[in-house]
Chains A and B, each alone.
Chain A
């Protein structure tokens, strides 16, 4: 009896193990198939960007690996378009906007979260209402303002100013301030700190993760923004990456190798940026949904 039981258990667990192994194999197969769907287009673009003039773009069956790999396509793109400038412009616009936006929205979020004052509800709902207004709606008047009033047409300032405050960040940060215990603020008040000191010395360090989230969101949105920048920027040295990339598509319309090289050059850095900051992205998403 004893013997029979002890011999049965390994048999069962062995079957379970092969069962699980099989399940895992199927599972990984599904994951790989989806991954191919998500990444293969980029992989094909990348391989195309390395193809020399003798490598076929189109053939049956498709030739994926370049036989005569070359960096000439990258060179021809770089010769005709200032990709480096696109990057610098995008980084500049993204960094300046993010820094200013997070400061301005964090300032606005503090009284909305922690102070009582006349008009608080009105201001809160006013800002809330702007969340549903599509930005594209404002582009015609904003264009007129840019040309006639601010005179910043074809400058990077035109991209920065309209994005100095976003309702989304005000709400995200208001939520963060609300979760800070009042005792902390009261203690600082008793010590005689003014509100700006409290904001900077007490609250900002506590809500740093939310600031990082708001900052990354803003940066990525600015980095990918296309329609407004395409209306504002028309000389090549002023363009941001998406605007430059669209220009590249127009210039090299039938030269797939060069377009592929342009896409490769612009996609890889943002992928690295994401991989490094992945943790904050995920935390930000959770926070945004709860808030």
Chain B
């Protein structure tokens, strides 16, 4: 079938492509350019070649931020395991189960700033965590949770996991409800225990959801900012203990007006994200070949 040329498809696509060009493609090109300049946003950029990248390579704060962002990826497997367990727990037809599902979803819909403030308050030295631990006799006096550098990153990761479980639980729950009941019956006949049954039927059956959650939550983990901003009161934590790549980008670019240097950080973020996406794609291809 031959068709005459038509503008119609391009007209349909035009608004979306315009927005993409202005707010994604143009900024990517600019940020590459800015990364080779000294730039404070107010005065025009001055070309400095590789200076920002050379500085970045020996910037210990940058490497700390990079390290923290990579450590943050622990959130992904933790979230997958805990969300699957929670989804299996609430995947039953028992009275009141929908109420529990809704309750587990509460942190996920409350917004990162609200939950960040909430955590800051419960872990405050006057917070409820100290109250409970002292009542139980575990602590003798209030502990400064937020002033302990070794705890900043673990607290942030815990916060992310806690806030994410409800959302990913819903993803896995939808997946579980698509697994045919006969598979569980077959497993039961084969003498599988409750736990074995889920290991042999639920986990393989949830593979599309696991891939989805792995991709989404790891990309989110690489971009963490809001939680750090709120939990450390914009400081990045004592001795930058909670600093992440995006937080460092924000500090350099918008707090200190080193937009050129921040652009180099942005390029580093892009590089890490791309490497990660490629690994994800390769893993998925590998899995598909295995099928």
Binding site for B on A (CB under 8 A): 24, 27-28, 30-31, 34-35, 37-39, 41-42, 44-45, 48, 57-62, 104-105, 107-108, 110-112, 115-117, 120, 123, 126-127, 130, 132-145, 147, 161-162, 164-165, 167, 170, 195, 199, 220, 223-224, 226-227, 231, 241-242, 245-246, 249-250, 253, 256, 259-260, 263, 266-267, 270-271, 273-275, 278, 281-282, 285-286, 288-290
Contact = CB atoms under 8 A, between A and B. Distances in A.
Contacts of A224: 111-113
A271 B134 CA distance: 32
Given A104-B15, A227-B225, A270-B109, A136 B131 contact: no
Contacts of B103: 35, 38-39
B28 A138 contact: yes
A224 B110 CA distance: 8
B179 interface: no
B68 to A, nearest CB: 15
B186 interface: no
A111 B13 contact: yes
B105 A227 contact: no
Given A37-B162, A104-B19, 13 more contacts: A27-B89, A30-B89, A31-B89, A57-B126, A110-B12, A123-B13, A140-B253, A140-B263, A141-B34, A142-B27, A274-B105, A289-B208, A289-B212
A207 to B, nearest CB: 15
Interface in B1-54: 3, 6, 8-10, 12-13, 15-17, 19-20, 22-28, 30-31, 34, 41
Nearest to A132: B277
B119 interface: yes
A137 B266 contact: yes
A245 B135 contact: no
B174 A282 contact: yes
Interface of B: 3, 6, 8-10, 12-13, 15-17, 19-20, 22-28, 30-31, 34, 41, 86, 89-90, 92, 94, 96, 100, 102-107, 109-114, 117-122, 124, 126-128, 130-132, 134-135, 142, 162, 165-166, 170-171, 173-175, 178, 208-209, 212, 219, 222-223, 225-226, 229-230, 233, 246, 249-250, 253-254, 259, 262-263, 266, 269-270, 273-274, 277
Contacts of A253: 233
Contacts of B263: 140
Contacts of A143: 41, 254
A142 B171 contact: no
Contact of B135 (A60, A132, A134): A60
B164 to A, nearest CB: 11
Nearest to B86: A34
B281 to A, nearest CB: 10
B12 A263 contact: no
A105 B277 CA distance: 24
Max chain B C-beta neighbours (<10 A), residue from A105, A161, A164, A231: A164
Contact of B16 (A42, A45, A170): A170
17 contacts: A44-B128, A59-B131, A62-B128, A108-B16, A133-B28, A137-B270, A138-B24, A140-B27, A143-B254, A195-B12, A224-B112, A241-B111, A242-B113, A253-B233, A259-B117, A259-B121, A282-B170
B9 A256 contact: no
Given A62-B128, A138-B27, A140-B253, A105 B16 contact: yes
Contact of B28 (A35, A108, A136, A137): A137
Given A58-B130, A161-B23, A288 B111 contact: no
Contacts of A108: 12-13, 15-17
Contacts of A227: 225-226, 229, 246, 250
Nearest to B115: A41
Sorted nearest first, the 8 A-B pairs with minimum C-beta distance are A111-B9, A138-B27, A62-B131, A108-B16, A141-B27, A141-B30, A58-B126, A165-B19
A35 B195 CA distance: 22
A242 B111 contact: yes
Contact of B113 (A107, A226, A281, A286): A226
Nearest to A227: B225
Nearest to A286: B174
A224 B226 CA distance: 10
A170 B17 CA distance: 11
